[in-house]
Amino acid sequence: MAGDPGPQRCRVRVWFGDHVVADYSAEAELAERYAQAMSRRFAGLKVTSDPIPVTDPDQYRSLPGERLWEVAPK
């Protein structure tokens, strides 16, 4: 369809107080899964997921590979 903006994208951020420690974007369903994974991994930190305006879909970094979401830091 002409003018179709494509799937909704969301920006997911992990916060340490007022500081963003992770900032990525993805299609809404994948972004929600990432947000849930980060909430489990960093239980004490705030995780936000916000829709990205259709006019700026490529402004944000894409998510890292899903296999890395559960990798524990050394």
Q: What is the pLDDT of residues 1-40, one digit of tens each?
A: 455 566 788 999 999 999 999 999 888 999 999 999 999 9
Whether 63 is covered by a domain: the verdict is no
Whether 39 is covered by a domain: the verdict is yes
Query: Which pTM was predicted?
Result: 0.70
| SS3 assignment, position 36 | helix
Instruction: Output the pLDDT for position 9.
Output: 87
Instruction: Output the pLDDT for position 33.
Output: 92
How many structural domains does the chain have? 1
Whether 38 is covered by a domain: the verdict is yes
Closest CA to 9 of 71, 58, 74, 65: 58
Whether 24 is covered by a domain: the verdict is yes
- From residue 62, give the alpha-carbon distance in Å to each of 2, 28, 30, 52: 25, 12, 11, 12
Contacts of 23 (CB under 8 A, 6+ apart): 11, 12, 13, 14, 60, 61
